[in-house]
């Protein structure tokens, strides 16, 4: 799975999954949250380096408080339930987004697990919680402006200023639940990602379907703007720069 290193998932469709079964929406979140561990395990088994899961967007604050509260408590329960397994499997756990409004106890659990697993070399498991892609870009730019007043920012500076720079670009984005949109997720990191939208709602999304999607996408040709001779975006950008100079020389513009 060398070509698919970083996978991001928009875990959508919990509410509809429950409504279809005449259950309250939060039932869907409970079942959805129970599904996360098996997908993490499968990502690890497939040799994926980074898995970033969208669990709560900055826009999700506009949902009824009763639903928001359940989502908070499910994050806490997930950490308590999975802590030992995360540590044993050498997973590096992180949260990106604004968690300052979460209960203190949950924030402490998060920080503790982040610190305990900070140097783990296994799967980089990241939850986007209280996360917005635009807010992340503004954060990165503000960081740069503060540290380098009066200077112009370039692409590398911006990448380095993101919440978790070592995650790098996303190779594959999967969204469950049938909607074909990005919903303010990882706007910068998705620039050249393969996109896969499945009708399956998150509580029903199985390790087998996940693995089939990864396999399918691994066989897709990614061209990064070239005519097909490179294997990653870095290489394509270097090639573009070399060619630009050569083409300009031949045109006599250099
Ligand atoms: C995704 O499921 C989970 C969160 C956004 C927190 P939804 O709650 O959006 O489920 P649908 O899209 O309404 O079915
Ligand atoms: C995106 O799902 C956010 C998460 C899955 C956490 P939403 O259900 O909030 O997205 P929209 O509102 O349909 O775009
Ligand atoms: Mg939704």
- Structure confidence by residue, pLDDT tens digits, 73-122: 999 999 999 999 999 999 999 999 999 999 999 999 999 999 999 999 99
Average pLDDT by stretches of 10, the chain with 254 residues: 88 98 98 98 97 98 97 98 98 98 97 98 98 98 96 97 97 98 98 97 98 93 85 87 90 78
Residues with CB under 5 A from ligand 3 (ion): 12
**b or e along 20-58 (b: 16 or more beta carbons within 10 Å of the residue's beta carbon)?**
eeeeebbbbbbbbbebbeebbebbbebebbbbbbbbbbb
For ligand 3, the distance from its centroid to the CA atom of residue 195, given in whole angstroms, is 17
**Closest by CA position to 82, among listed 132, 123, 135:** 123
Closest residue by Cα to atom 12, ligand 1, is 13
d(CA 196, CA 218): 12
Percent of the chain with pLDDT over 70: 99
Q: Specify the pLDDT at position 51.
A: 98
d(CA 120, CA 88): 10
Q: Specify the pLDDT at position 233.
A: 86
For ligand 2, the distance from its centroid to the CA atom of residue 200, given in whole angstroms, is 15
Tokens of 26: 């939060």
Tokens of 151: 């200077």
Annotated catalytic residue 12: yes
> Are residues 28 and 18 in contact, defined by beta-carbon separation less than 8 angstroms?
yes
Ligand 2 nearest atom to the CA of residue 15, by list position: 8
In this structure, whether the domain defined by 6-220 belongs to CATH 3.40.1180.10 is answered with yes
Q: Write out the E strands in the chain.
A: 6-10, 50-57, 92-96, 124-131, 172-175, 194-197
Tokens of 94: 């992180």
Q: Specify the pLDDT at position 174.
A: 98
Q: Specify the pLDDT at position 2.
A: 61
Annotated catalytic residue 60: yes
- Cβ of 11 less than 6 Å from ligand 2: yes
């Amino acid at each position: 799975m060398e070509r698919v290193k970083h996978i991001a998932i928009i875990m959508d469709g919990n509410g509809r999954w429950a409504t279809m079964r005449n259950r309250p929406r939060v039932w869907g979140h409970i079942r959805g949250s129970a599904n996360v561990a098996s997908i993490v395990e499968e990502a690890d088994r497939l040799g994926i380096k980074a898995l970033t899961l969208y669990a709560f967007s900055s826009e999700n604050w506009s949902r009824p408080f009763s639903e928001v509260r359940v989502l908070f408590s499910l994050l806490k329960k997930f950490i308590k339930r999975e802590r030992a397994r995360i540590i044993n499997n050498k997973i590096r756990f992180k949260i990106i987004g604004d968690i300052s409004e979460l209960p203190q106890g949950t924030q402490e659990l998060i920080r503790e697990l982040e610190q305990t697993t900070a140097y783990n070399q296994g799967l980089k498991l990241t939850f986007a919680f209280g996360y917005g892609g635009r807010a992340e870009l503004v954060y990165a730019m503000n960081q740069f402006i503060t540290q380098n007043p009066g200077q112009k920012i370039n692409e590398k500076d911006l990448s380095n200023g993101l919440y978790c720079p070592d995650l790098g670009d996303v190779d594959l984005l999967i969204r469950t639940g049938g909607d074909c949109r990005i919903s303010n997720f990882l706007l910068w990191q998705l620039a050249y990602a393969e996109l896969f939208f499945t009708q399956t709602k998150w509580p029903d999304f199985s390790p087998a379907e996940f693995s089939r999607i990864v396999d399918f996408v691994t066989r897709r040709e990614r061209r990064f703007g070239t005519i097909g001779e490179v294997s990653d975006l870095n290489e394509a950008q270097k090639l573009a720069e070399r060619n630009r100079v050569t083409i300009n020389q031949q045109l006599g513009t250099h």
